[in-house]
Structure 1
Amino acid sequence: MPPAPATQPGSWRFGSVEWLALLLLLLVVFRDPLADTVSDPRLQTWTTVFVSVLVQAMPFLVFGVVLSAVIAVFVPRSFWARALPRHPAAAVPAAGLAGVILPGCECGSVPIAGSLIRRGVTPAAALAFLLAAPAINPIVLTATAVAFPGNPEMVAARAAASLTVAIAMGWLWLRLGKSEWIRLPRRSDLDDSSRARAFWAACRHDVMHAGGFLVIGAAAAATINVVVPESWLQGLAADPVLSVLVLATLAVLLSICSEADAFVAASLSQFSLTSRLVFLVVGPMVDLKLISMQAGVFGRRFASRFAPVTFVTAVVVGTGVGVVLW
């Protein structure tokens, strides 16, 4: 029996990425009719939150995926040797500050950090960028200023605390991190002789890999929004210690995109400014969808160690900055 003819390099077929894009498009277009078919208000809330998280995060995920593919395919390794200080300890703060110029959220920073490591950037510097970029880029800081018009110091507090956590985690990785904890998937697609084909293959891979974990995180966040009673938060806001821990945990569970979390924090007016600052510092660094995406890109061993330590560091630094200011 003759073998099936191979697919021609230039041919196009409707694959998994196209199906995912079509599904997301249909969810957005038919969001209202789908909500009307669900009679239970709790299910309506779940559907609304799930779709909202995807709609918020997907543009930035796509931005990060495209930028990641550009870094992986078109940027030579020698560029990073020139762009960052050679000493790893000095490269960490430099990479953290680089987050100021990239307008993206945590969904895009994960694949970008993976590409940086593949291109020879020390993992500590890539991880500092991963944590800093979603919290100190111009879009996020502008949104924070708009959300807190009566507290302009919140912008500086968020930037300072987030950058401090990112640099501290980078230096901590230099001290205690092990290379075997990071297991980037093998990317034979990047070895294609055609840069155009390698670029498209890298985009397809990252959209499916990171996008699948984003869907899981969005579903978890929607479930938490439905399950946790809002009345529980009212009695905890008065306690200064519990309020910090509650909002830090809430930031992890809600998984709100960093471009939108300032408005949510501003609406939690029953909580102190310090606890709301912790909410803004923790959210872009440790949340359900981000942990899921980190596990998909860097491996479960990495996520199980990196996320808890980042959470504790963010709570401590955010609280410290808040106590100093307020």
Structure 2
Amino acid sequence: MKTKIEIILGFLQSGKTNFINSMIKNCDLQNETIVVIQDEFGQSKIKNEFINSNENMNIINIENTSNEEINEKYINKILEIYSPHRIFIEVNGMKNSNSIINMFNNKNLRKLCRIDDIVTLIDTKKFFIYFRNMKSMLSTQIYNSKTIILNNINNINKKDFLNIQNQIKRINETANLLEHAPSLNIKEIHQDEYREISSHSFSAIKTMFYMSLLILSFTCFAALSITDSSGYSFYLDKFKNFYTVFISILIQGIPFILVGSFVSAIIQICIPKDTFIKFFPRNIFLSCVIAALAGLLFPICDCGTIPVVKGLIKKKVPIAASITFMLSAPIVNPIAIISTVYAFQGMKAVVIYRVVAGIIISILVGLIMHFLTRKDDDILSINNNALSCECGFCNDDYDYSRNKFEKIRAVFIHTGDEFFNIGKFMIIGTFLSSIFQNIVSAGTNIPILSGNIPPLIAMILLSFVLSVCSTSDAFIAKGFLKQFSVNSVMGFLVVGPMLDIKNTIMIFGNFKRKFAIKLIFFIVVVSFSILINLRL
């Protein structure tokens, strides 16, 4: 039978030793040989009455006074000498707990023992202090835990207690959350000392409300579709058009957001910062050129670039290169290029000018934003949850290469967080875009505008309002050739992938407002300045 391993995490005086004492007192551990390894020494000790005082239980307490590294050799020695049924390891709170956990993934140790539980004990009174000053260590402990115990809950108010639970659930939503309920009789430790915290039903009620609202909406729509609609056919047709446009934009955009979120997660977790920065030259202009052409390797549209750019910025990639990639990737996307070739057959100049103009504009805007914000690199929104990553895997100080499964798990967790964080802004933008598309569509009779400036402005505004995906906007743009010149249509093809309703809302949702306003302003100004001088 394999030896059961109990890993106890937490900072000094968080209650680790008291918890081990309560576990030893538990009747379920009778008739076992138990080894307790203490790698940290606070005020509490393993109680003397437990050590070799119970005939049905053999307790061996090992204090790591020499600060010897707890590694595979150390554990094998204990297994050989004591042949224990169970080992409690009280981990020093200032050490990297991943090294202990990953050690038991070794093939040799897996044959001899298995991790039964990983418990983190948290002093709620000191939680926010630790969370501000030692966030990476605390987040790593929480992330790795199967069970989390909150101590000193009587010393904080209800609001702080709920905030602590929310922070923990944000890092590790699957962990079993317990609270320490000290007995009135302090000398005696009862088995019900640690009790499960009942989950609050508010989120479940909110989910049920939204689900019910969604079902009701579909039911009403279905009922209106099969009943006599002569009295309200006009409004029903408008709603059908809105619904069709809304769903079609979501279907087009969501896969790209998912791909972008996945790429962003891989950048965050699997690629060290130093290694990633080596891809970009020190020369800002050259780094922008590389970023502008990087879209050829990432077939994502305008919806999926923002999560990737956030990952680049977190890895300290220059702002110029990050913004350049965000603006150029939807245009140099191979799918977008191919769709433009098919839409404008026999007009190769349109394809070339679209790609070249997109690259030039993106590089210029990237350089401008770099010089305007080089003194303040913190451009991501403060309220953005993804900005303050709490998984512990994004910190370059830790080495998680030994445990591939944990790294893969972290990638998917990050992908989900990024997807839902970006997705909510995507849905809001799609909703507004669908409304405008019902008001202004490609089939609307637009008066022919004379000159160069008015038609170009009109096409830029239409590209913003219609918010068409960059992989299919070429077919819609060609429909305007009957009313607008090729030079004006280039405004639709070039500015649309860089800036539309969806993008604008996602930009404001993920970047600081001041930076977002500057970015949008220079996209419009630089694009207009370049496109007005094109002659096709």
Q: 1:93 to 1:46 in 2, by over 3 A?
A: same
Q: What does residue 467 of structure 2 align with? A: 255
Match of 2:332 among 125, 136, 149: 136
Distance in 1 (alpha carbons) for counterparts of 2:452 and 2:444: 15
> How far is 1:118 from its partner?
0.5
AA in 1 matched with 2:266: V
Mapped pair 1:201 → 2:398? no
Distance in 2 (alpha carbons) for counterparts of 1:49 and 1:138: 25
User: Contact between 1:238 and 1:271, CA under 8 Å: does it hold in 2?
Assistant: no
Mapped pair 1:309 → 2:309? no
Mapped pair 1:189 → 2:377? no
> How far is 1:227 from its partner?
2.5
> How far is 1:85 from its partner?
0.2
Structure of higher CA gyration radius: 2
Higher relative contact order, chain-length normalized (CA < 8 Å, sep 6+):
1
Q: What does residue 105 of structure 1 align with? A: 301
AA in 2 matched with 1:165: I
> How far is 1:315 from its partner?
2.2
Deviations 1:99-147 (A, max 9, x none): 2221110111110001001012011110000001000121111100000
Q: Secondary structure at the match of 2:533?
A: helix
Q: What does residue 116 of structure 1 align with? A: 312
Q: What does residue 300 of structure 1 align with? A: 513
AA in 1 matched with 2:352: A
User: Contact between 2:331 and 2:494, CA under 8 Å: does it hold in 1?
Assistant: yes
TM-score by length of 1: 0.85
Identical-pair percentage: 28
Q: What does residue 150 of structure 1 align with? A: 346
Distance in 2 (alpha carbons) for counterparts of 1:34 and 1:72: 47
Distance in 2 (alpha carbons) for counterparts of 1:190 and 1:318: 45
> How far is 1:75 from its partner?
1.1
Match of 1:222 among 434, 459, 476: 434
> How far is 1:230 from its partner?
6.8
> How far is 1:188 from its partner?
2.5
Q: What does residue 53 of structure 1 align with? A: 249
Mapped pair 1:283 → 2:502? no
Distance in 2 (alpha carbons) for counterparts of 1:142 and 1:135: 11
Higher strand share: 2
> How far is 1:190 from its partner?
4.1
Deviations 1:140-170 (A, max 9, x none): 1110000000311111000000000010011
> How far is 1:87 from its partner?
2.5
User: Contact between 1:258 and 1:284, CA under 8 Å: does it hold in 2?
Assistant: yes
Q: Secondary structure at the match of 1:234?
A: coil
TM-score by length of 2: 0.53
Q: Secondary structure at the match of 2:310?
A: helix
> How far is 1:196 from its partner?
3.0
Farther-moved stretch of structure 1 (205-214 vs 155-164): 205-214
Distance in 1 (alpha carbons) for counterparts of 2:391 and 2:349: 45
Distance in 2 (alpha carbons) for counterparts of 1:34 and 1:89: 59
User: Contact between 1:117 and 1:126, CA under 8 Å: does it hold in 2?
Assistant: yes
The RMSD of aligned alpha carbons is 3.1
Deviations 1:231-280 (A, max 9, x none): 87521344432111101001011111000100000111221101111110
Distance in 2 (alpha carbons) for counterparts of 1:200 and 1:258: 27
AA in 1 matched with 2:253: A
User: Contact between 1:165 and 1:317, CA under 8 Å: does it hold in 2?
Assistant: yes
AA in 1 matched with 2:515: F
Higher helix share: 1
Deviations 1:196-240 (A, max 9, x none): 342222112211111000011111111111233778752134443
Distance in 2 (alpha carbons) for counterparts of 1:72 and 1:83: 15
AA in 2 matched with 1:301: K
Gaps of 5+ in 2: 1-148, 151-164, 177-202, 227-231, 394-399, 401-405
> How far is 1:311 from its partner?
1.6
